[in-house]
Amino acid sequence: MLDGTLLKEKENQVLDFLFYWGRPIRSGDIAKELNIPHSTLNSVLKRLSKESLIIWEKYRLVNLTSEGMDAASHLSNHHFVIEFFLKDTLNLPDEEAHLQAIHLAGRVKCSLIDAICDKYNFPKTSINFNLCKRRDYPQH
């Protein structure tokens, strides 16, 4: 379940990105990829680390813990399903749908995602990677 601790925008964005990246990464590279100032990213990483979602020590690589992996894949699945829904119902362009979906992913309840999955006959238990057209997701 997504809980209140995951409702912060930047935390969600970083978790979603780490799921996509699929391997350890330098914090400087996250800042570059997501276009987040280093100071903001550092406080986000500190919070994620405090919640045991990532392992990060200064000057070391950032890595998801298994708990973090669960949270990140859950969030990313929300992102994929919302993105598909926005494109299908509103015909939003890929880039707009992608950004809006990442923004919304941690804010909607799982029951909404389930309702969208029901509408399109998507499996609810597995992760629907193929629904994001903006990133080339590795096979997890």
Q: Residue 101, Cβ neighbours under 10 Å: how many?
A: 26
CB of 88 to Zn ion, least distance (A): 14
Residues 21-50 that bind Zn ion (CB under 5 A): none
Site map for Zn ion, 86-105, x if CB under 5 A?
------------x-------
12 DSSP β-pair partners: none
Q: Residue 15, interface with Zn ion (CB under 5 A)?
A: no
Q: Residue 110, interface with Zn ion (CB under 5 A)?
A: yes
Between 94-105 and 66-90, two packed helices, what is the crossing angle to 10 degrees? Answer: 130
Give the integer Cα–Cα distance in Å for 94 and 133.
Answer: 7
Q: Residue 108, interface with Zn ion (CB under 5 A)?
A: no
Q: Do the Cβ atoms of 95 and 134 come closer than 8 Å? A: yes
Question: In this structure, what DSSP letter does residue 108 have?
Answer: S
CB of 6 to Zn ion, least distance (A): 10
Binding interface with Zn ion (CB under 5 A): 83, 98, 110, 113, 132, 134
